[in-house]
């Protein structure tokens, strides 16, 4: 994409809006699809000069009677006088439709309500962190419209607690993950089992039902081996990539946005079974794994940023990476450059896993991957209290309070990087069979590792028909408390949409709606923190 030179002039009505700044005609370099605003100063109307600087601080906030303008950053030549500063707007009828929702007072949707008219003092404080990130080409108004979605788990990446039939059909107890599935199951048998699963576990009807529940996002887990494998890797590559493309068309048909989540990476980002190879996570340790990961990212972005996939709005670069956070951060910068420098010049939102440093409780990510150098980055936080030995012992009241205690933290984190809770569950125990790995037990009943007994798993998971009314009421409160908290940030995507054979209904969004602890309209809630 080439840089083009334009001669820009402030319109008379903007120059006469009560400000003392002169109208100045000058040449500026404008990059059509990328606008970097290093620092912003906000007022309720018009455009104004904040203070002398080499980088002009610009914002368009015209009154409703004025045309819609495009805010542009101009880097001033160092030879200019110290008092020289410029505010620039460019009227463009061609861009008016795209720009309209980013001008004027900021509106933020929370819980179905609309808050507008934020004070100039608030904007002064938040402007650099929020508005500088605004990119007119995003396919969803992140930071302004609330993300409400569901994860499609256990489909293109197998998890035992979601789709246990895969491992049952293997007929081999050595099979505990997709590495061992490809290694021990005869090839033709493995292909037959997986092909049937990919074709039938999730269909267009699921997307139709998801949309009917008032959700606006799906997050689809995808394995790197769905595109290719290297060397002697035993993973089975079939039609996963084709199904991902088909899902993108289903999402578009039902007006859903779709985040592609790279759930596995070459070498392994974490030691869990859903990472592909239990106990192996060498992604950070060898250059070849980094190179392969970047290759996969480039392929995904080049494909799904095309206009034929309008539903695809973001890409999550890696799921739940373990290891040194500074090293992961270094990888993220390389991944960011790969996405942004793809031949597509993509404007997809980029999601980064928080490396288990929840931004509502830790400020590590507050100062990283910031604009103007990095644009449209979102943290992806996973909140699972049932895996924490201390949290799992909490009383119902204290459990709810532990969620509510994060609300202000997410609001603060969202000022720095958009903060999404990309995985969470109303489930209160880890009792679901296979949740901690195939043939592994649960912390709640003391059958996992060296855990201690807290209570019986009976009636806590499995078929919702066997849940008591009091338990369903608590699941409802758990769901509502978390939603209320996470909407203080940029929103939420619950894990997961469905599980097989009522294996873990407490984890299923669909079963939650059908049995009443999740409302059909996610904005209609009884509890607030």
Indicate which residue of 261, 303, 423, 487 is catalytic. Answer: 423
Say if CB 161 and CB 507 are below 8 A apart.
yes
How, if at all, do strands 312-316 and 26-30 pair? Answer: unpaired
- b/e 80-91 (16+ beta carbons within 10 angstroms → b): eeeebbbbbbbb
3 state DSSP class of 39: coil
Please give the Cα distance from 102 to 136 (Å, whole number): 8
Question: Whose CA is closest to 18, among 53, 56, 74, 62?
Answer: 62
Phi, psi for 502 (deg, rounded to 5): 55, 35
Catalytic-residue membership of 303? no
- Asked if residue 372 has a cis previous peptide bond (ω within 30° of 0), the answer is yes
Residue whose C-alpha is closest to residue 425's, from 349, 380, 481: 481
Tell me if residue 320 is catalytic: yes
Gyration radius from the chain CA atoms: 25
Of the residues 320, 361, 440, 487, only one is catalytic, namely 320
Q: d(Cα 293, Cα 289) in Å, to the nearest integer?
A: 6
| CA 35 to chain CA mean position, Å | 22
Contacts 24+ apart (CB under 8 A), 241-246: 243/155, 243/156, 243/198, 243/199, 243/202, 244/156, 244/220, 245/303, 245/309
Q: Strands 349-353 and 312-316, how do they pair? A: parallel
- Continuous segment of H or E residues that includes residue 184: helix 178-184
Mind telling me the catalytic residues?
A: 320, 423
């Amino acid at each position: 994409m080439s840089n083009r030179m334009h001669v820009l002039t402030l319109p008379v009505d903007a120059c006469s809006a009560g400000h003392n700044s002169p109208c100045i005609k000058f040449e500026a370099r404008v990059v059509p699809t990328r606008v970097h605003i290093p620092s912003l100063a906000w007022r309720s109307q018009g455009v104004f000069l904040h203070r002398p600087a080499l980088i002009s601080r610009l914002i368009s906030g015209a009154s409703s009677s004025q045309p819609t303008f495009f805010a542009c950053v101009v880097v001033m030549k160092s030879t200019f006088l110290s008092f020289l500063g410029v505010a620039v707007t460019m009227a463009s009828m061609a861009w008016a439709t795209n720009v309209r929702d980013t001008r004027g007072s900021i509106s933020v949707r929370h819980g179905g309500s609309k808050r507008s008219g934020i004070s100039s003092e608030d904007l002064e404080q938040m402007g650099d962190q929020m508005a500088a990130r605004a990119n007119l080409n995003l396919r969803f108004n992140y930071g302004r419209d609330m993300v409400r979605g569901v994860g499609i788990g256990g489909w293109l990446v197998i998890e035992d607690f979601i789709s246990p039939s895969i491992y049952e059909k293997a007929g081999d107890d050595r099979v505990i993950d997709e590495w061992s599935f490809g290694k021990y199951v005869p090839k033709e048998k493995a292909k037959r089992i997986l092909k049937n699963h990919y074709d039938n576990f999730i269909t267009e009807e699921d997307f139709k039902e998801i949309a009917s529940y008032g959700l606006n996002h799906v997050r689809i887990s995808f394995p790197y081996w769905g595109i290719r494998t290297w060397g002697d890797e035993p993973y089975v590559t079939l039609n996963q990539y084709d199904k991902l493309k088909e899902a993108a068309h289903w999402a578009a048909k039902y007006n859903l946005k779709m985040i592609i989540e790279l759930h596995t990476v070459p070498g392994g980002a974490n030691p869990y079974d859903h990472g592909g190879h239990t106990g192996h996570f060498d992604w950070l340790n060898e250059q070849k794994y980094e190179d392969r990961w970047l290759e996969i990212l480039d392929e995904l972005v080049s494909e799904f940023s095309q206009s034929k996939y309008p539903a695809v709005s973001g890409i999550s670069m890696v799921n739940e990476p373990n290891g040194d956070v500074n090293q992961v951060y270094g990888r993220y910068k390389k991944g960011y450059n790969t996405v942004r420098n793809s031949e597509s010049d993509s404007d997809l939102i980029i999601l980064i896993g928080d490396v288990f440093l929840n931004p509502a409780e830790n400020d590590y990510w507050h100062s990283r991957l910031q604009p103007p150098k990095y644009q449209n980055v979102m943290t992806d936080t996973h909140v699972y209290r049932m895996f924490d030995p201390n949290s799992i012992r909490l009383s119902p009241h204290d459990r709810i309070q532990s969620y509510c205690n994060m609300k202000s933290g997410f609001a603060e984190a969202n000022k720095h990087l958009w903060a999404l809770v990309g995985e969470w569950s109303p489930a209160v125990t880890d009792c679901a069979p296979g949740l901690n790995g195939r043939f592994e037990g649960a912390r709640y009943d003391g059958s996992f590792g060296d855990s201690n007994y807290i209570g019986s798993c009976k009636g806590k998971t499995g078929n919702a028909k066997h849940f008591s009314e009091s338990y369903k009421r608590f699941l409802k409160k758990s769901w509502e408390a978390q939603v209320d908290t996470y909407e203080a940030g940029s929103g939420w995507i619950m894990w997961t949409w469905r599980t097989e054979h009522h294996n873990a209904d407490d984890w299923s969004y669909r079963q939650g709606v059908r049995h009443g602890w999740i409302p059909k309209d996610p904005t209609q809630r009884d509890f607030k923190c």
